[in-house]
Structures are given as structure tokens and as C-alpha cells.
Amino acid sequence: MTENTPLLEVKNLNKQFPLRKGMSHRKNQAITAIDDVSFAVYEGKTIGLVGESGCGKTTTGKCILSVYPPTSGSIVYRGMNLLDLDGKRRGECRRKIQMIFQDPYGSLDPRQSVYSIIKEVYAEDGERHRKNEINEKVEELLETVGLPKEISDRYPHEMSGGQRQRIGIARALACDPELIVCDEPVSALDVSIQAQIINLFIDLQKAKNLTYVFIAHDIAVVRHIADTIAIMYMGRIMETMNADDIYVNPLHPYTKALLSAIPVVDFYEEKKRKRIAIEGEVPSAIDRPSGCPFHTRCDRATSACKESVARMAEVGPGHFVACHNV
């Protein structure tokens, strides 16, 4: 794999979920969760997928993990299309891509001790391990995620949300992954704990050259950890850019509205900001607007926007926007 090949490349991903309308179908209705999503992420880097509810970011993450097969499109990992792989090869690849979950309370089996949770996952790598080797590994992983080794006898209900999330991370690391899909990993945590976990993610990335697909609804969080940010709305990517640019040079009307809606803690900065009011609500997934999905709420919408989606166009280094009016 050369320097310039991305570790993961998602191409024209589409995912629809069929709706069954009971006995009388007038037509086969389906919810389009993801519509023509493409992005690439390089080894050791992080891409942030940001958007509000219903934008398809979690579905994208799950497609990458092969939780469900996409309706069309491809997911290319190290040059191989994951969807084309047969069972054996897919099994070899599977442990390389792991997931961290949003809900620290549902992500651990309540009947398993911490030791057991990590050991089970570690020991499944197809090789035989001796007992003391396993013990060492468990201790090592606990230390890597900042937990004391005494915690291995405890059960999930005895630990806080932040600790549970760390166990989830340790479990993912036990598979020795290269790519981790992080699905809103800090949303359910207290503010002061969020920072601890975010820093942990960053440190781990540097130490182990991990690649992240970081899904979140909070742009501020993503900004700290991502190299590239993709803004999603109703299943499409509206804008992709370097994380550093997002506050400074957002171009897509949705991105601007999104940023404007998020207050900044810096008191003086906040007072200086111009606010963009955005009307209406996210349309229902069953009744997708034609053309660009954002046109119903966009203050710059023209008739072209109603008719067709704009292609992603490069407007600067690493900066792509899908909008007719930019």
C-alpha cells in the first residue's frame, strides 16, 4: 500500500430500508438513509462525520462495519472491496475494523466481568494463548486506557459511564484493529469526562497509528479530533473540508447554519458572531425533498436546487462542497 492510498474509501454508498405498509402497498416505499456518500480516510488520520438526527451518519458507520449490506456502492479497505470478499477473507479482515458505541450502558454484557469481556475478545484471534499471556494482555490494555488493573474483577454496573466507555475502547483494542468507527462515543458522558475520553482517543491514535471514522453531532468535539470533517444532511454529504477550516471558511449554507446554531463558550467571541436563523425542521425521511435535500430550508435555494443535486466540487485544497450556489 503506497503512501497515497487511503486506508478506507467509501464510494457512492447507498442504503435504503424498505418500508412495509402492511396489507395494502400502493407502492414499495423505502427510506433512503444514505444517498451517494463518498469519502476517503488515510491511515493514522480521522474523518469526522457530522450531522443531525436522520442524516445517515450512523448508518454509514454500520455499513463500513458490514452490519448491513449497502444497497449499492462499495467500501474499499486496503484496496479490497469488502463487499466482494468471501467468508474466509472477510473473517480475517473483520477484527481490523472495530467499533466504539454511544451508550456506555448497553455496550457491555452485564453478566461479564471486565476481565472476561476483554479476554473473550482477545482470545478469539485464532491462536492459542496461555493463561498468563492473556492476563498480561488484559493488564496491558487496561493500563492503555487508563484504568487500574484491579478493575478487572468488577462488573459493568459497578462502574461509571466514563469507565465503561474505556472498557469498550479496551475491548476494541484487544482485536488489534487498524480502523475504529466511533459512534458518538462521548455524547452520553458528563462534560468533564468527555474531555478525558477525547484525549484518550487522540493519544491512542498517535501511539498505535489508528485511523478513526468519528461520528458525532457535536462539531466542537469533532474539531478536536478530526483531520477532515464531512457534514451530512438527509443522507448526503454537503461539504467536506479540513477540520481547521470549518470555523473559518464554511461554504455550504447548511454548514453555516449549523455552525451558527452552536453557541461558543468564549464570551466575547460569541457576542461578535452573526447568527443565521434557519427555519423549519428536518424533513421526514419518507418524504424526501426532490433535488438537494436542503433546499426546503435554504435561504439561497433556487429552482435548480429543487430539481437536482449538485455534485461535490472542489473549491480549495481538501475542500469540497455540493451546492449550486457556491
Partner 1 sequence: MSDNPSVAKAGNGRMLEVKNLRISFFTQDEEVKAVNDISYYVDEQEVVAIVGESGCGKSVSQLATIQLLQSPPGKILGGEVLFEGVNLLKYQADSREMQGMRGPKISMIFQEPMTSLNPVFTIGRQLVDVIRAHKDIGEKEAWKLGVESLRVVKIPDPETRMQSYPFEISGGMRQRVLIAFTVACSSKLIIADEPTTALDVTTQSQVMELLLKIVDKNRSSLIIVTHNLGLVSRYANRIYVMYAGQIVESGRSEDLLVRPKHPYTLGLLKSVPTLNAGKEEKLVPIKGSTPNLARLSDKCAFMDRCEYARDICRGSPGPMLRSVGTGHDLRCYIDIKENS
Partner 2 sequence: MVFILSAVFAPLITRYDPNENDIMASMETPSRAHLLGTDVLGRDVLTRLIYGARVSLVASILSCLLAGAMGMLLGFMAAYYGGVAEKIIMRYVDVQLAIPPLIFTIIIGLLVGRGLGGLVFAIAFGLLPGFIRMMYGVVLSLKQSDYILALKLANIKNWKIFYRHLLPNSFPPMIVMFAMNLGAGIMTESTLSFLGIGIQSPTASWGNMVSEGYKYIFTSSLLTFMPGICITLVVVAVNIISDGLRDALDPRLRGKL
Task: Answer yes or no whether residue 129 interacts with partner 2 by CB under 8 A.
Answer: no
d(CA 164, CA 155): 10
Q: Minimum distance between the CB of residue 185 and partner 2, rounded to whole angstroms?
A: 11
Backbone angles phi, psi at 59, to 5 degrees: -60, -40
Question: Terminal CA-to-CA distance of the chain, rounded, Å?
Answer: 36
What residues numbered 202-221 form the site for partner 1, per CB under 8 A? 202, 217-221
Per partner kind, with CB cut-offs from 5 to 8 A, the member of partner 2, partner 1, none near residue 143 is none
Task: Answer yes or no whether residue 138 interacts with partner 2 by CB under 8 A.
Answer: no
Cell 462495519 maps to which residue? 65
Of the candidates 56, 73, 156, 162, which one interacts with partner 1 according to CB under 8 A?
162
- Single out the segment in contact with partner 2 by CB under 8 A; choices: 1-9, 45-53, 90-98, 265-273: 90-98
d(CA 90, CA 153): 33
Q: What 3-state class would DSSP assign to 57?
A: helix
Q: Are 197 and 166 in contact (CB under 8 A)?
A: yes
Q: Are 222 and 47 in contact (CB under 8 A)?
A: no
Q: Site map for partner 1, 277-296, x if CB under 8 A?
A: xx--xx--------------
Q: What 3-state class would DSSP assign to 17?
A: strand
Residue closer to partner 1 by CB (options 73, 162) is 162
Degrees to nearest 5, angle at CA 201 with 207 and 204 = 15
Of the candidates 84, 124, 153, 269, which one interacts with partner 2 according to CB under 8 A?
124
Task: Answer yes or no whether residue 111 interacts with partner 2 by CB under 8 A.
Answer: yes
Which residue(s) pair with 81 in the sheet?
76
Short-list 201, 197, 230, 227, CA closest to 216? 230
Of the candidates 166, 171, 252, 319, which one interacts with partner 2 according to CB under 8 A?
171
Positions touching partner 2 (CB under 8 A) are: 65, 67, 91, 94-95, 97-99, 101, 103, 106-112, 120-121, 124-125, 155, 157, 168, 171-172, 174-175
Positions touching partner 1 (CB under 8 A) are: 52-53, 160, 162, 190-196, 198-199, 202, 217-221, 223-224, 243-244, 246-247, 257-270, 277-278, 281-282
